[in-house]
Amino acid sequence: MHSLQPHSAWRTRYLAAEDPRSPFFLDQGAPANGAYHQMYDFVIHPDWDDIGCETLFLKVLFVDYAEGCAVIELLGEWNDALHNDVMEFKRRVADPLLAEGIVRFVLVGDNLLNFHADDPDYYAEWAEEVESEGGWIVGLNFRDHVADEVARARLGRYIWSGPRFRAASWRAQDPLTLCQAVEVMVQKRLGM
């Protein structure tokens, strides 16, 4: 896992560490001295950002404040049952971005290996905040078993995922084009 790095092709367009409005401005989530993170018995590449979760790391790949959209790549295991990862994610990542006008969240789940749900309160709060501004939260490319767990936990009304939200070539797209493509997926789901 140490060689698995976040998508880097958009770095010419956006770097969270250089964005004063980002929760990761000046590499606040990076380990000291370029050291590797650790998840279980695995080391994780230092380009992933730590949000205080034992098994969940992420990278804010792109933010467009004018469009109100953020693309965030996930790595590891989202575990609310043991670690309340949604609370950490909401408070450390989503809330600061919401305060800056981000209401459309694309959570890229290609490397999200497991999902363990618990209390839906933080999901409901987050969804209510974005939906009141015309936004949404989409789990793009969540693995089938992860999307199934989201659905079983009845979180599908907060985070939209599953077969309708797949984009195999998302890495090859322009980030703003990806945000717009996900918007089209959302509109189709809503029947608009």
pLDDT of residue 46 exceeding 90, the answer is no
Q: Please give the pLDDT value at position 31.
A: 56
Q: Please give the pLDDT value at position 83.
A: 87
How far lies 67's CA from each of 11, 16, 145, in Å?
18, 17, 31
| Domains of the chain by start residue, with CATH | 16-190 (3.30.750.24)
Taking only the tens place, the pLDDT of each residue in 56-104 is 999 999 999 999 999 999 999 999 998 899 999 999 999 999 999 999 9
Q: Please give the pLDDT value at position 134.
A: 93
pLDDT of residue 43 exceeding 90, the answer is no
Question: Average model confidence (pLDDT) for the chain?
Answer: 90
Taking only the tens place, the pLDDT of each residue in 117-176 is 998 999 999 999 999 999 999 999 999 999 999 999 999 999 999 998 998 889 999 999
pLDDT of residue 44 exceeding 60, the answer is yes
Q: Please give the pLDDT value at position 2.
A: 63
Taking only the tens place, the pLDDT of each residue in 17-40 is 999 999 999 865 555 555 666 777
Q: How many residues does the chain have?
A: 192
Q: Please give the pLDDT value at position 188.
A: 83
- Burial class from Cβ neighbours inside 10 Å (0-12, 13-18, 19+) for residue 145 reads exposed
Q: Please give the pLDDT value at position 192.
A: 52
CA 163 – CA 143 distance, rounded (Å): 9
pLDDT of residue 177 exceeding 60, the answer is yes
How far lies 66's CA from each of 104, 126, 176, in Å?
11, 20, 11
Q: Please give the pLDDT value at position 179.
A: 94
